[in-house]
A and B are shown apart, each in its own frame.
Chain A
């Protein structure tokens, strides 16, 4: 099963997380939840870069929302950057664009944490 590849690096207190794969959907969302379970324990500020994620479905949205909630619980936040058009349309459709801040570039997103 094709799972979402997660790579991350930390710079100045901000963790940039790159998600890539065919899809974040019902087929791999459990794995994704497992893989990101401890990510929020010791860090607060996250930028998720979605440019290499080709497709997201409703369960993928649920998993991203769960990440947002964990970050909030820690006094942090998750911002999204470089979101493909089809994924952005989905966010707008289910109004998640009002819960997640979406930025054109990861630098734009990171700046909002620093200011």
Chain B
């Protein structure tokens, strides 16, 4: 424990120094307030004993500077004074002094007061350490929760249910929620979709969500193996079976799960729903050009031990759209507290229902982003969109040409966002793909075309089994990447991050010449 003495009176300084050394303290000495401040800026002192009256920087000023410095570890300040009126003490306390000692001081008193200082400093250190440990634990918990969410709670849109087009997205909130969804493809024309939300936050909610999802999938499998005649178990039976496994456990844990279980059958053109207290499903009816909100009347799973689940049926046609969502969507709030709400969602669906689910999802994500100004979401945001009918233009590869000018960059990023969603990239993967493509395009526009606006840049996208390949094709001078430096922490550096960003944001980058005068940059982004 290091002590700094600041006193301009030589005798008093020497006496203090010797006394403290005799008490086995490690002591540094400053001859005035100014020197003391310089020493305090250079290193930390646990205790400062400063004379009240010093030229230029006096004890009060020193005290105020120490408190303003806002360093992490506490400095305990004792003011030395021969003046001992009440007002002085008030001034000292206001400036941030912890204790006072009168000159000439009594050795026993000094020792006792330093004992107090040490006790307080020890408590302060323990408190700070405990706070750090809690913060670290909390950070770890968030990370574990986010991993559970990615690996156990979410799913990629299904392949094989070719009578439908799907898009699914989850934006996790800072506190982990128990949102989950999955698909079960019976045949190309029949698919089960379920979306749920385990109440509560953090890892417990995530684990309950994962357990519920697992139980639902096992219930379907078990019921399917019990039926022999090719009949599918009804959604009601699936939920009932899952309930019999889950309900008592959930009640014991004081938890419950809201769930929307749906079967979409495009041969019979019938959708069957079991709604267990979940948010309403939106159904865009193409021939009416309007949206219906669908809800049933079952309790959430885990509300009551005995529940007989009911289901309801809704007819649909090609071109209809179903939108399943968690309350994190409608509860997304702007900084002024305004909820995104279901009206905005219905409105957006109505305007863009004719577009592909991926495009619709992209627009929804942008709308939520701009509504909340991209502040952290309070709740998880989960959306599954299903459009009835085979994709109008299923693409293995697609491309679009753009005028090679910096003003095209926004449009280019938007195109990359669409194709990324179509290839099942998640929100973060799309951000990274957009950023990498943007940096590569900026290089092409500036260096190959000098931003003339006379040339054309083609962006080609190719669907991979586990990701997307984006190829930027351009005429003119090809450029090869130089060495990529790690970005330095240098405030004077203002550029050169482009290549580094590209390499970090996608899984593979290659450059080459397609034919004389036509070059390309190829970016591959894989989904795990």
B68 on interface, CB distance cutoff 8 Å = yes
Chain A positions 62-82 with a Cβ under 8 Å from a chain B Cβ: 62-63, 65-66, 68-69, 72, 82
User: Are the CB atoms of B410 and A82 closer together than 8 Å?
Assistant: no
B409 on interface, CB distance cutoff 8 Å = yes
Residue of A1, A55, A68 with highest tally of chain B CB at under 10 A: A55
User: Are the CB atoms of A95 and B489 closer together than 8 Å?
Assistant: yes
CA distance A24 to B470 in the complex (A): 23
Q: Which chain B residues border A61 with CB–CB below 8 Å?
A: 497
Q: Which chain A residues border B409 with CB–CB below 8 Å?
A: 23, 25-27
CA distance A99 to B434 in the complex (A): 25
Given contacts A57-B439, A94-B487, is CB(A51)–CB(B375) below 8 Å? Answer: yes
User: Are the CB atoms of B492 and A84 closer together than 8 Å?
Assistant: no
CA distance A98 to B500 in the complex (A): 17
- 16 example contacts (A-B, Cβ-Cβ < 8 A) are as follows A1-B406, A23-B409, A25-B442, A27-B406, A55-B438, A57-B435, A57-B442, A58-B442, A58-B497, A62-B494, A82-B375, A85-B374, A85-B431, A89-B428, A99-B491, A115-B68
User: Are the CB atoms of A68 and B435 closer together than 8 Å?
Assistant: no
Given contacts A61-B497, A69-B491, is CB(A25)–CB(B373) below 8 Å? Answer: no
The smallest C-beta distance from B263 to any residue of chain A, in angstroms, reads: 35
A86 on interface, CB distance cutoff 8 Å = yes
Leading 3 A-B pairs by shortest Cβ distance: A84-B374, A27-B406, A62-B494
User: Are the CB atoms of A94 and B500 closer together than 8 Å?
Assistant: yes
CA distance A112 to B496 in the complex (A): 31
User: Are the CB atoms of A57 and B335 closer together than 8 Å?
Assistant: no
B504 on interface, CB distance cutoff 8 Å = yes
Given contacts A57-B439, A99-B489, is CB(A93)–CB(B504) below 8 Å? Answer: yes
Interface residues as binary, B389-432 with A (CB distance below 8 Å gives 1, 0 otherwise): 00000000000000000110110010000000000000010011
User: Are the CB atoms of A86 and B431 closer together than 8 Å?
Assistant: yes
User: Are the CB atoms of B369 and A66 closer together than 8 Å?
Assistant: no
User: Are the CB atoms of A58 and B410 closer together than 8 Å?
Assistant: no
B281 on interface, CB distance cutoff 8 Å = no
Q: Whose C-beta in chain A lies nearest to the C-beta of B428?
A: A89
Give the contacting residue for B497; candidates A1, A2, A84, A94; CB below 8 A: A94
Can you name 17 extra interface pairs (CB under 8 A) apart from A84-B374, A86-B374? A22-B410, A23-B409, A25-B406, A25-B438, A55-B413, A57-B435, A57-B442, A85-B431, A89-B428, A90-B501, A93-B504, A94-B497, A94-B501, A98-B489, A99-B489, A99-B491, A112-B70
Q: Whose C-beta in chain A lies nearest to the C-beta of B494?
A: A62
CA distance A74 to B314 in the complex (A): 68
B277 on interface, CB distance cutoff 8 Å = no
Chain B positions 438-452 with a Cβ under 8 Å from a chain A Cβ: 438-439, 442, 445-446
A52 on interface, CB distance cutoff 8 Å = yes
The smallest C-beta distance from A13 to any residue of chain B, in angstroms, reads: 15
Q: Which chain A residues border B492 with CB–CB below 8 Å?
A: 69
Interface residues as binary, A101-112 with B (CB distance below 8 Å gives 1, 0 otherwise): 000100000001
User: Are the CB atoms of B373 and A51 closer together than 8 Å?
Assistant: yes
User: Are the CB atoms of A26 and B489 closer together than 8 Å?
Assistant: no
The smallest C-beta distance from B492 to any residue of chain A, in angstroms, reads: 7
The smallest C-beta distance from B80 to any residue of chain A, in angstroms, reads: 27
B233 on interface, CB distance cutoff 8 Å = no
Q: Which chain A residues border B494 with CB–CB below 8 Å?
A: 62-63, 65-66
The smallest C-beta distance from A46 to any residue of chain B, in angstroms, reads: 15
CA distance A2 to B410 in the complex (A): 9
Residue of B68, B410, B505 with highest tally of chain A CB at under 10 A: B410
CA distance A66 to B442 in the complex (A): 20
CA distance A72 to B492 in the complex (A): 12
Q: Whose C-beta in chain A lies nearest to the C-beta of B373?
A: A51
Give the contacting residue for A58; candidates B373, B376, B498; CB below 8 A: B498
Give the contacting residue for B442; candidates A59, A89, A99, A104; CB below 8 A: A59
B495 on interface, CB distance cutoff 8 Å = yes
Q: Which chain A residues border B497 with CB–CB below 8 Å?
A: 58, 61-62, 94
User: Are the CB atoms of A65 and B375 closer together than 8 Å?
Assistant: no
User: Are the CB atoms of A27 and B407 closer together than 8 Å?
Assistant: yes
Interface residues as binary, B346-385 with A (CB distance below 8 Å gives 1, 0 otherwise): 0000000000000000000000011001111000000000
CA distance A82 to B501 in the complex (A): 22
Q: Which chain B residues border A95 with CB–CB below 8 Å?
A: 487, 489
Residue of B407, B446, B497, B504 with highest tally of chain A CB at under 10 A: B497
CA distance A69 to B490 in the complex (A): 11
User: Are the CB atoms of B406 and A58 closer together than 8 Å?
Assistant: no
Given contacts A93-B504, A98-B489, is CB(A57)–CB(B438) below 8 Å? Answer: yes
A44 on interface, CB distance cutoff 8 Å = no
Q: Which chain A residues border B495 with CB–CB below 8 Å?
A: 58-59, 62
Q: Which chain A residues border B375 with CB–CB below 8 Å?
A: 51, 82
User: Are the CB atoms of A58 and B369 closer together than 8 Å?
Assistant: no
Give the contacting residue for B374; candidates A25, A51, A104; CB below 8 A: A51
CA distance A22 to B370 in the complex (A): 11
The smallest C-beta distance from A62 to any residue of chain B, in angstroms, reads: 4
User: Are the CB atoms of A58 and B501 closer together than 8 Å?
Assistant: yes
Q: Whose C-beta in chain B lies nearest to the C-beta of A84?
A: B374
User: Are the CB atoms of A26 and B431 closer together than 8 Å?
Assistant: no
User: Are the CB atoms of A93 and B491 closer together than 8 Å?
Assistant: no
Q: Which chain A residues border B374 with CB–CB below 8 Å?
A: 51, 84-86
CA distance A58 to B376 in the complex (A): 24
The smallest C-beta distance from B523 to any residue of chain A, in angstroms, reads: 15
Give the contacting residue for B369; candidates A54, A98, A99; CB below 8 A: A54
Q: Whose C-beta in chain B lies nearest to the C-beta of A25?
A: B409
The smallest C-beta distance from A59 to any residue of chain B, in angstroms, reads: 7
